[in-house]
Amino acid sequence: MSKPVISVENLSKAYRIGVKDEIPDTLVGAMTSVIRSPFKNLQRLRRLDTFTGGPNGTESDDTLWALKDVSFDVQEGEVVGIIGRNGAGKSTLLKVLSRITEPTSGRVVIRGRVSSLLEVGTGFHPELTGRDNIYMNGTILGMTKREIDRKFDEIVDFSGVEKFLDTPTKRYSSGMQVRLAFAVAAHLEPEILIIDEVLAVGDVEFQSKCMEKIRAVASDGRTILFVSHNLNTIARLTEKCAFLENGGISIYGDTPTALNTYGLSRGEHSIKKSIESCRRDGNADPIVKIKSISVLTDSEDEFPRFEIGEQVRIEIHLYSRVSIDSAAISVGLSRNRQPVELFSLFHDKNRDGLRISKGVNKVTFGFVDTNLLPGVYSVDVGINPYIKEKAYDVIQAYPVFEVINTGSKKVSFRPERPGTIFWEDAIWEV
């Protein structure tokens, strides 16, 4: 097996944090402080020795270990996700890998040219124009002017800042800086691409373009490290994942395992391998139970993707222990965890409700004219009696598909609710 392109061995990083000193408010206290100061200085020196010795020594109040004995390898061509709560050490790890920050102990070996996008405007000189920054970043990456010239038009087109190319980047908005920074980082052909959550600053359309570009970079066999709090994006882009907790790696392995472990640590299942791992509501022992939710598609992908305007059909399987003359089923659709629409079905569109047979029942829900904005979509599905309030069974936040925009179709908007979605009719089949 070839050597890993990134090798991290017992990596630790400590920071000093401010600790407020006690200020004497009496003459006696001031004199006592003067007498004790040599002993306090000696204690500080001892703590400094502990600080540089590694995370396993006696920690002081003014030392914070952002990373503790982190070790992992990344092979060439792998796309690795890094997940964890805020403060887990994700950004610190990327800064060390990008050689922005020196580790306190341990070592990192990187074999290849690294391009990183960690903060808005990373690597940009604010006084230089966008054009100058493109060439400066390319030079830092070790590229020749001819190589940068070859990629220049593609970078500018992707970033969409052509009108402001000769304007100093200090006058760019945060979104413009992100667009240009990502375009430079992704197009100048680095062997290793490191990306933090910074892409969340961009608009939805640009985020979709970025995801497509990341997939293209990965398909070229280049190595990517990707930090995101959007677990559906991590699931779509990565095959391997590192879950960081309290500065250490809790698990490093295949993405579904890491994501489910992360979901359990937060008391929820953010990425579901099966319907049984979803958050559920309703009766503890329901008469009617939702057995599966799936998207009808010709694609073999586990998580289907649709272009704007494509028809989407969702199939729901129910199991009932008895026949029910009157029930209701509802589907709530959310995009990027934000509720979009709620649909409810009554059998034959009358007020008597839906008739459910004993055994397995199949309900198909589809959109006739789909104008869904790009993003990851999940559903809340509920089955409940027509009159009683308590639901039989409810599945919450089950991710079902992703909508992308390749630019071939335009999105229609409701005038009274700009930025949302609509479709003319919904088709139900029972």
Residues 347 and 402 in one domain: yes
Same domain, 300 and 262: no
- Check if the beta carbon of residue 416 is closer than 8 Å to that of residue 320: no
Residues 6 or more apart from 138 whose CB is under 8 A from it? 145, 147, 148, 151, 184, 188
The SS3 call for residue 348 is: helix
Same-domain check for residues 208 and 291: no
Answer with the one of 233, 267, 301 that is the final residue of a domain.
267
Per-residue pLDDT at 93: 92
Per the document, the length of the chain is: 430
Please state, in angstroms and rounded to a whole number, the distance separating the CA atoms of residues 396 and 303. Answer: 17
Whether 365 maps to a domain, the answer reads yes
pLDDT reported for residue 346? 55
307/386 same-domain check: yes
For residues 362 and 303, state if they share a domain.
yes
Kindly report the backbone phi and psi dihedral angles of residue 351, in degrees, each rounded to the nearest multiple of 5, phi listed first: -90, 5
Burial of 49 (0-12, 13-18, 19+ CB in 10 A): exposed
Residue 263 in any domain: the answer is yes
Domain CATH number, residue 388? 2.70.50.60
Q: What is the pLDDT of residue 336?
A: 64
pLDDT in tens, 125-183: 889 999 999 998 888 777 788 988 999 999 999 888 889 999 998 898 878 888 888 88
Same domain? For 233 and 311 the reply is: no
CA 56 to chain centre: 31
| 373 is a domain residue | yes
Per-residue pLDDT at 165: 92
Residue 219 lies in a domain: yes
Same-domain check for residues 255 and 300: no
Cβ atoms within 10 Å, residue 302: 9
Judgement on whether residues 108 and 225 belong to the same structural domain of the protein: yes
Would you call 113 helix, strand, or coil by DSSP?
coil
Q: Give me 104's structure tokens.
A: 């306190």
Which among 258, 310, 304 is positioned nearest to 399, based on CA atoms?
A: 304
Same domain membership, residue 325 and residue 235:
no
- Look at residue 294 and tell me if it is in a domain: yes
Residue with tokens 């102990």: 105
The answer to the question of residue 42 being in a domain is no
Residue 239 lies in a domain: yes
Residues of the chain below pLDDT 50: 267-273, 347-348, 350, 413-424
Sequence-ordered alpha helix ranges (H) in 167-252: 174-187, 204-219, 231-237
* Same domain (yes/no): 123, 261: yes
What gap in Å lies between CA 55 and CA 12, rounded to an integer? 7
Global model pTM greater than 0.85 = no
Per-residue model confidence as pLDDT tens digits over 69-119: 999 999 988 999 998 888 888 889 988 998 888 999 999 999 988 888 776
- Domain end (from 267, 294, 325): 267
200 and 304 co-located in one domain:
no
414 secondary structure, DSSP code: B
| CB of 8 closer than 8 Å to CB of 106 | yes
- Residue 24 has a pLDDT of 65
Query: How many angstroms separate the CA atoms of 365 and 381, rounded?
Result: 11
| Boundary residue ending a domain (267, 301, 323) | 267
Domain that includes residue 295, residue range: 281-412
Predicted pLDDT of residue 271: 40
Which helix or strand (DSSP H or E) is residue 29 part of? helix 27-53
Statement to judge: residues 253 and 201 lie in one domain? yes
Query: What CATH number does residue 93 fall under?
Result: 3.40.50.300
Number of domains within the chain: 2
Dihedral pair phi/psi, residue 138, rounded to 5°: -65, -40
- 309 in any annotated domain: yes
401 beta partners: 377
